[in-house]
Chains A and B, each alone.
Chain A
Amino acid sequence: SAVISQKPSRDICQRGTSLTIQCQVDSQVTMMFWYRQQPGQSLTLIATANQGSEATYESGFVIDKFPISRPNLTFSTLTVSNMSPEDSSIYLCSGSMGISYEQYFGPGTRLTVT
């Protein structure tokens, strides 16, 4: 298994600013993912964070808005750029190991944009 932590746990930001969320895993994981979750709703995959290369984004999400880094097998960051109130959401990081289908999730970062 893997334990995933995220920083910050929550933040209130002004529109037009950017926030970088950090995701740390206590062991090496093959895959890392970033999700968005509106309160009371399901998870929407933003992108797959690839080590040493550009992230793979899902339809509706672009690198300019959500730049992602993954410098090694245990760490990734997601930046929410030029924020608007519509970006208010919970952002979740997850990781999976090897050929396992199981994903381990972080506790999430609750973002409010005013």
Chain B
Amino acid sequence: EIVLTQSPDFQSVTPKEKVTITCRASQSIGSSLHWYQQKPDQSPKLLIKYASQSFSGVPSRFSGSGSGTDFTLTINSLEAEDAATYYCHQSSSLPYTFGQGTKLEIK
């Protein structure tokens, strides 16, 4: 099973700040890495697919990069509505697995 480790677990940030969340895979997964946003009491929503492809309707301040074992989700000019927990997910091999999540708090 591929283990995904996100860092940090928690981050408190101010609006307009740039945020970087990383996801490291226990073995190479190519670009089969996707990012989701989960706001409190809501279901997850897809932000980025295949490491760097923005999903339809997602604000342009969200971007992804990386391949192999190291991946990054970047949020440029953070907005208050971005307060959420962010998860990475690998679909390179079964079973599909998720990172433990990174919770963003807006100061």
Co-complex (A, B): no
Interface of B toward A, CB cutoff 8 Å: none
